[in-house]
């Protein structure tokens, strides 16, 4: 992992805490949330205030995430909104925390100027003894205040001011006036500078969780389902129509197609399909070379081409299928018939635009483990876990590639691969029963995509 850290691919963009005042504020928050404190005089924190250095010191990397649910946070600065969220157990945690900071940036800037803001992503579930408890998570509420309860006291003072102004005897109530004066000494003038936090409640129908071996839950789509990356049988009965194991490729493909959640890369608007396919083929060759102990040199395309020539008919199926698509796309080769049983099937897709884009791309990253770039961008927890198991040559190639091709322009790379970031104006893609009828015509190779699905008919097996 040292190579990733040095290249800024791990623990990158963390916020440095190195002043005595900030360390003391952090300790006040840590004592309030976890009844612990750090002896470190400098460390780095992520979006939630979690510090890898403090995790090592305490011997507990979940010190702000007990039981892996209801994540707690310590905000020392609004700059934390640009930091990553480490040790994420739920996919929605980062987006909720970041949106909360952005929606309340002015208030939080004022509050963190003199104190730490601490809080929790709160739901009604406090332990996850069984997978069925995950379906009780319907809404996340952000509960936040300073360690000195500035927000709560400001709300209390606002209520007392309302009483003072509306109650007939308010002007003569010495006890009420005394309370107001005492609170105002701590909160300031809340009539001119009101303290109120917005955007604190978020619906969470669809998410990924690391619990139970990894589970994707889709409840807002027309055909709801859960997809288990761990032991599906061990989950028990779940309150959702369908639960698919990760090896049920046909069922997963059908689920994605029926809910219009994916699109073929070769049809994606604005995508350079040829460049994307070539890079996926390079990743597949690097994996094949490292598995067979072949020297890929620096991993240049010329050296990888030599590896492909050396392997010949022993080339991985994924590589051969993507090469066939590339020939069809650029040289008018025959249309490749790739159905959901084929190991290359999910490599040919990306998430359709819409609010579930990032979650679907995360799922595709698990279904396409050889595409290391998508895995790093969309599912860092999985990337770091698999990276530790790779041969040294593959580690070096992947780290150098990501530093050279992704770190330079992260936003541009994401836009080129996955399209524009989802926005409020995005509408769901038309489902299988919503599409407008198309007049019949003689099919061309490209029309075949529409006739049989992304690459071939999704197999209609038993549900």
Mean pLDDT of 369-391: 95
**pLDDT of 170 over the 80 cut:** no
DSSP annotation of 73:
E
Contact 9, 403 (CB under 8 A): yes
Residue 276, classed as helix, strand or coil, is helix
Residue 389, both tokens? 């198991």
The pLDDT of 58-62, averaged and rounded, is 94
Between 435 and 302, residue with greater pLDDT = 302
Residue 179 has pLDDT above 80, yes or no: no
Residue 319 sits at the vertex; the CA angle it makes with 315 and 324, to the nearest 5 degrees, is 110
Q: Write the Ramachandran bin of 49: left for phi over 0, alpha for psi from -120 to 50, otherwise beta.
A: left
Closest CA to 121 of 44, 49, 43, 57: 49
- Mean pLDDT over residues 374-378, rounded? 96
Q: Nearest-CA neighbor of 420 among 350, 366, 371?
A: 350
Q: Predicted confidence band at 408 (pLDDT cuts at 50, 70, 90)?
A: confident
Other C-beta atoms within 10 Å of 215: how many? 21
Task: Give the least confident one: 312-316, 320-324, 429-433.
Answer: 429-433
The predicted model scores a pTM of: 0.83
Where do the structural domains in the chain lie, given as residue ranges? 2-130, 261-434+442-452
The pLDDT of residue 92 is: 94
Q: What is the pLDDT of residue 17?
A: 96
The DSSP letter of residue 445 is: T
Nearest in space to 108 (alpha carbons), one of 47, 183, 41: 47
Task: Please name the residues in contact with 291: beta carbons below 8 A apart, sequence gap of 6 or more.
Answer: 391
Question: Mean of the per-residue pLDDT values for the chain?
Answer: 83
Rg (CA), the chain: 26
Query: How many other β-carbons are positioned within 10 Å of the β-carbon of residue 421?
Result: 12
Beta bridge partners of residue 207, listed in sequence order: 217
Please answer whether residues 289 and 300 qualify as being in contact, where contact means their C-beta atoms are separated by less than 8 angstroms. Answer: no
Closest by alpha carbon to 43, among 11, 10, 88, 68? 11
Spatial separation of the C-alpha atoms in residues 143 and 199, rounded to whole Å? 11
Residue predicted with more confidence, 228 or 13: 228
Q: Residue 183's pLDDT is what?
A: 58
pLDDT score, position 407: 86
Strands (E), 235-353: 243-245, 262-264, 349-351
Least confident of 56-70, 169-183, 271-285: 169-183
Maximum distance among all Cα pairs of the chain, rounded to whole angstroms: 94
pLDDT tens by residue, 107-146: 888 888 888 999 999 887 878 889 999 999 999 999 888 8
Considering only 192-196, 295-299, 363-367, which range has the smallest mean pLDDT? 192-196
Residue 40 confidence (pLDDT) above 60: yes
Which residues, including other chains, have CB under 8 Å from residue 6's CB and lie 6 or more apart? none
Q: What is the pLDDT of residues 340-358, one digit of tens each?
A: 989 999 999 999 999 999 9
């Amino acid at each position: 992992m040292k190579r990733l850290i040095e290249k800024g691919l791990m623990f990158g963009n963390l916020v440095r805490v190195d002043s005595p005042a900030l360390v003391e504020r952090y300790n006040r928050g840590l004592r309030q949330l976890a009844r612990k404190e750090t002896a470190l005089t400098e460390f780095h924190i992520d979006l939630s205030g979690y510090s890898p250095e403090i995790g090592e010191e305490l011997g507990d990397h979940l010190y702000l995430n007990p039981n892996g649910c209801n994540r707690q946070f310590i905000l020392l600065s609004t700059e934390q909104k640009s930091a990553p969220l480490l040790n994420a157990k739920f996919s929605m945690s980062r987006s909720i925390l970041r949106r909360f900071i952005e929606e309340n940036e002015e208030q939080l800037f004022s509050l963190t100027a003199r104190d730490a803001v601490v809080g929790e992503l709160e739901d009604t579930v406090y332990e996850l003894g069984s997978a069925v408890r995950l379906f009780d998570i319907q809404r996340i509420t952000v509960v936040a205040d300073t360690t000195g309860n500035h927000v709560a006291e400001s709300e209390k003072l606002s209520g007392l001011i309302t009483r003072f102004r509306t109650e007939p005897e308010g002007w003569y109530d010495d006890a009420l006036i005394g309370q107001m004066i005492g609170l105002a000494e701590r909160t300031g003038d809340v009539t001119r500078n009101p303290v109120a936090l917005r955007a604190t409640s978020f619906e969470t129908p669809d998410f990924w969780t690391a619990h139970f071996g990894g589970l994707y839950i889709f409840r807002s789509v027309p055909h709801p389902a859960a997809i288990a990356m761990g032991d599906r049988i061990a989950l028990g009965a779940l309150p959702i129509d369908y639960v698919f194991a990760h090896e049920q490729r046909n069922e997963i493909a059908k689920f994605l197609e029926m809910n219009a959640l994916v699109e073929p890369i070769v049809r994606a608007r604005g995508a350079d399909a040829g460049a994307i396919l070539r890079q996926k083929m390079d990743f597949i060759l690097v994996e094949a070379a490292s598995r067979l102990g072949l020297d890929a040199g620096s991993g240049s395309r010329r050296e990888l081409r030599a590896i492909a020539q050396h392997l010949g008919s022993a080339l991985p199926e994924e590589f051969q299928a993507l090469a066939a698509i590339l020939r069809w796309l650029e040289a008018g080769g025959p249309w490749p018939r790739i159905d959901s049983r084929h190991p290359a099937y999910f490599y040919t897709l990306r998430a359709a635009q819409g609010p579930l884009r990032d979650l679907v791309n995360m799922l595709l990253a698990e279904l396409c483990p050889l595409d290391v770039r998508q895995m790093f961008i969309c599912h860092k927890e999985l990337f770091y876990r698999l990276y530790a198991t790779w041969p040294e040559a593959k580690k070096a190639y992947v780290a150098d590639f990501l530093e050279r091709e992704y770190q330079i322009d992260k936003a541009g790379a994401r836009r080129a691969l996955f399209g524009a970031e989802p926005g409020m104006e995005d509408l769901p893609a038309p489902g299988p029963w919503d599409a407008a009828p198309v007049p019949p015509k003689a099919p061309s190779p490209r029309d075949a995509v529409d006739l049989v699905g992304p690459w071939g008919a999704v197999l209609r097996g038993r549900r």
